[in-house]
Structure 1
């Protein structure tokens, strides 16, 4: 299915920095980085193969199938549906049905020695998922920089997710709601891991396209200024990122449309939801397998002597965190994105809970809503990219536009605390939400990834994208746990929106006013080059600029 592991490439001798005359602190950092970091072809990746058309299209097709419809959508709905069917209305006591016409709207299931609200149980599961993701990213995330470990790690996580999705065929009764929870968690954890390790491929892939190589060579010949080179390289990164995001949205549309071929004719079949998840997963298998066939070998160096794949990640993260003074904008962005991703991810989960309750866990209704989001997502991603390319707009400015809507979504939900007229209480609001989310939040994913790529030191992709993975996925240990406690105590899903509004607002303000992408990009490139081959100055600051 995949190629044999490519031969490992050791760190070139000329890439080992000279540290004899360096300040002791800088010396320690350089020695640590030289021992733990992994760059297969120098900072600029000149020795790495140029991206082929087949390779680039297989990269896009993987994301086309890895669109989240199954593990991030249907599986959650199925889990919540069976948990609700297994629970009872606390107002009427054990034996009552949460789906009865006169139900109070509250629903609890046995949990430990007591009971817990179903929405709270779902959020607990989410929090546990993100905790496990944190362990994965910190333990083996950075190890993906070495040898061919990264490509095999992505393959392993992909296969685990596929297996969990196919396992959904066993979920046929309310008594299996705990199994539904376990399969949902397994699928969601491995799905989240595939997104992070797939994203970690992006910087190295983008800087090895024919266009990136061409503008680099022009810069080296003196035909382009450094600013012109950085602008052209940034636009190329945005092109690859936006096309891959567009493919994810196209895959979202195709998957949902295919599912209608099952959901409509088999509407009365008790296993129709199970069949739908299997079809969704089959589409991903069909589109995702090609990446593991056509991916070209760009391996890192062998694992340093005395190190282990399960410990080197923690050491790399410690080394990376120690660089916050020299890479201030990279770390300010990581911190702000930690909060922003937590707020956005938890907001999406909370609205999904409200939406599932409102439409009685209907896969068909969720498919229609998903199609509305998918179509608008595809159009907006292409539209934002066209505007950026036409106006030569910087990545951060495009990202700021998406941030405004990120803030407004939980604000709208918060209004629902005081009135039932608006605030995610009506069917039209969920249609409106899915359209708005598609128009403004789909480009958010593309621009947030590109921002990180621009602030990542070249050649240290998995080290810093490992931290980005923590910010993007594992950060959401906080939000779900806070929200589930609020919901469990109040019995009201809407009481969670004020916290999420504050979280998204604070994070956006930090990004808007605290991150200078252009200066951060130069800092990252200079740091990477000097960690590889530069000479530290006597004062302890870094030397020649790239």
Structure 2
């Protein structure tokens, strides 16, 4: 449990750095300069800045998948030669955790001091995070599209994560895959995800497709996979009843899963007020993880009452379809982005931000009125 908590917190605040990085790349600064000089329209500026964010998000996700391949290859170095050892799974867990320690410890040794804003007088490190979260939640009227998107993320994460868990339950119900076989499945998914992430990015860059449309395409899998499982209620020839379907599932997950995470992260960056990245990415992380308290419990109740694992798929299909509908019809990224910039400017005028003064000076909100 501690491992999952710390891992989740690490991912949230790691992701919160990327919109600030995107705003301060050489290309983004150059875009900002020519926009402020009136050489390009606001629409072109927003489109090009969005592509900068997508580039960083997609390439970083592809690199993450490369790291997964390395980890899986290390796992094979134990799984294959010691396949008959009853403790082989334990050895692999030790190796995987050692990989984390080996690569993570250097951060604590070589990290440079990067102080943020000082702690406000009368505040405490334990309480201020919760206060900031509450403060952010109260802004829903001023940032409607940001909060509608957070609701979408909550529903999608609920459906997406619970669907993956239910597929694994169906797999375990019919077949006993060893850790070695599951590692092969994971390797297939990761290799496909690298190709799909780069492919999605090149398609987006070539045709300059907005983030929302790319994200909507990746959500096809969130609807089709529970629909796939739903078919298994009426036939055993299709619908996660065959070994080949679990291989196919990992291929399809690889095609859409990592791009889904990349574009969902970019959407959040576009709807986050500049200078308040940690605050709103904290809500983004909560939306992703708090959802896992609801979906699994509802599906488990359905399974317990029916005695059929496949009965959980209709609920997940309805949930994912509803979330995709809200995303498409309820979230206006352009308006939400401009609302976020206006809101951030008002907060800065009152001296409130989660960035340091030097960071605020380079945050990059265009000086021209949007």
| C-alpha spacing 1:532/1:330, structure 2 compared with 1 (3 Å) | same
The answer to whether residue 194 in structure 2 is matched with residue 378 in structure 1 is yes
| C-alpha spacing 1:528/1:188, structure 2 compared with 1 (3 Å) | same
Q: 1:504 aligns with which of 317, 320, 332?
A: 320
Equivalent in the alignment of 1:446 = 262
Equivalent in the alignment of 2:237 = 421
Q: 2:274 aligns with which of 452, 458, 462?
A: 458
The answer to whether residue 285 in structure 2 is matched with residue 469 in structure 1 is yes
Q: 1:203 aligns with which of 1, 7, 19?
A: 19
The answer to whether residue 324 in structure 2 is matched with residue 480 in structure 1 is no
Structure 2: distance between partners of 1:380 and 1:295: 33
Structure 2: distance between partners of 1:434 and 1:323: 39
Deviations 1:47-69 (A, max 9, x none): xxxxxxxxxxxxxxxxxxxxxxx
Any residues of structure 2 matched to 1:181-192 within 5 Å, and which?
185-192=1-8
Equivalent in the alignment of 1:231 = 47
Equivalent in the alignment of 1:395 = 211
| Alpha-carbon distance, 1:504 to partner | 0.5
Equivalent in the alignment of 1:240 = 56
| C-alpha spacing 1:294/1:527, structure 2 compared with 1 (3 Å) | farther
CA contact (8 A) 1:338 1:472 kept: yes
Deviations 1:411-449 (A, max 9, x none): 111111222211111110000000001112220000000
Equivalent in the alignment of 2:167 = 351
Q: Which runs of 5+ in 2 are unaligned?
A: 352-367
Equivalent in the alignment of 1:284 = 100
Structure 1: distance between partners of 2:2 and 2:114: 29
CA contact (8 A) 1:356 1:362 kept: no
Aligned residues: 354
Structure 2: distance between partners of 1:390 and 1:302: 43
Report which of the two has the higher share of helix.
2
| C-alpha spacing 1:325/1:338, structure 2 compared with 1 (3 Å) | same
| Alpha-carbon distance, 1:477 to partner | 0.8
Q: SS in structure 1 opposite 2:274? A: coil
| C-alpha spacing 1:271/1:343, structure 2 compared with 1 (3 Å) | same
Q: SS in structure 2 opposite 1:310? A: helix
Q: SS in structure 1 opposite 2:122? A: coil
CA contact (8 A) 1:341 1:473 kept: yes
Q: 1:271 aligns with which of 87, 91, 94?
A: 87
Structure 1: distance between partners of 2:240 and 2:299: 17
| C-alpha spacing 1:506/1:287, structure 2 compared with 1 (3 Å) | same
Deviations 1:280-319 (A, max 9, x none): 2333334444555666655321111111222222322222
TM (normalized to structure 1)? Answer: 0.62
| Alpha-carbon distance, 1:357 to partner | 4.1
The answer to whether residue 168 in structure 2 is matched with residue 334 in structure 1 is no
Q: SS in structure 2 opposite 1:471? A: helix
The answer to whether residue 75 in structure 2 is matched with residue 253 in structure 1 is no
